Chains A and B, each alone.
Chain A
Amino acid sequence: MNSRIAHVAFNTFREAVRDRVLYNLIAFALLLSGAAILVGQISIDIERLVVVNLGLTAVTFFGVVIAIFIGIGLVSKEIEKRTLYTVLSRPVRRWEFVVGKFFGLTGTLVVNTFFMAIGVFLALLYVAHKFQVADLGILTALYFIVLQFFIVCSLALLFSSFSSPMLAAVFTFALFVIGNLSDDLRGIAAVFKGIGGGVATAVAYVVPNFSGMNVVSQVAHGEAIAGRLIVYNTLYALLYSAMAISGAVLIFQRRNLK
Chain B
Amino acid sequence: MVAIETINLEKTYSVGFWRKKPRVALRPLTLTVEEGVVFGFLGPNGAGKTTTLKLLLGLVFPTAGTARIFGKDIDDVEVKSQIGFLPEQPYFYDYLTAQELLEYYAQLSGVPPKERSERVQKMLGRVGLSDAARVQLRKFSKGMLQRVGLAQAILHDPKLVFLDEPMSGLDPMGRREVRELIQELQSEGKTVFFSTHILSDAEALCDRVAVIHKGELRGVGAVADLTSQTNGKVEIIFAGRAVPSALASLGAQTHVSGEVVSAVLPEEHQDAALDILRREKLRLISLTPVRKSLEEYYVQKLQPQDNRIGVGA
A: residues with CB less than 8 A from B are 3-4, 7-8, 11, 14-15, 18-19, 81-83, 85-93, 254, 256-258
Contact = CB atoms under 8 A, between A and B. Distances in A.
Interface stretch (B29-37, B101-109, B172-180): B101-109
Q: Closest 10 A-B residue pairs measured CB to CB? A: A89-B85, A18-B95, A256-B60, A257-B59, A7-B107, A91-B80, A90-B108, A89-B57, A91-B81, A85-B87
Contacts of B105: 86, 90
A75 to B, nearest CB: 14
A134 B109 CA distance: 50
B221 to A, nearest CB: 28
Interface in B78-95: 78, 80-81, 83-85, 87, 90-93, 95
Contacts of B61: 254, 256
Contacts of B83: 89-90
A7 B108 contact: yes
Contacts of A254: 61
A2 to B, nearest CB: 11
A18 to B, nearest CB: 4
Name the residue among B54, B57, B59, B92 with the largest chain A CB count within 10 angstroms: B59
Interface string B54-68: 100111110000000
Given A82-B91, A86-B87, A256-B61, A92 B13 contact: no
Nearest to B100: A14
B204 interface: no
A62 B13 CA distance: 41
B152 interface: yes
A3 B107 contact: yes
A256 B13 contact: yes
B92 A91 contact: no
Given A87-B108, A89-B83, 10 more contacts: A3-B107, A7-B104, A8-B108, A14-B100, A90-B105, A91-B78, A91-B109, A93-B77, A256-B61, A257-B59
B81 A90 contact: yes
Contacts of B91: 81-83
Nearest to B109: A90
Chain B residues touching A, range: 20 to 34
A79 to B, nearest CB: 10
B110 interface: yes
15 contacts: A7-B107, A14-B95, A15-B95, A81-B91, A85-B87, A88-B57, A89-B80, A89-B83, A89-B85, A90-B83, A90-B105, A91-B77, A91-B81, A93-B77, A258-B13
Contacts of A18: 95
A14 B94 CA distance: 12
Nearest to B136: A18
Given A86-B152, A256-B13, A92 B95 contact: no
A29 to B, nearest CB: 24
A83 B92 contact: yes
A198 B60 CA distance: 41
Given A15-B93, A257-B54, A258-B13, A86 B85 contact: yes
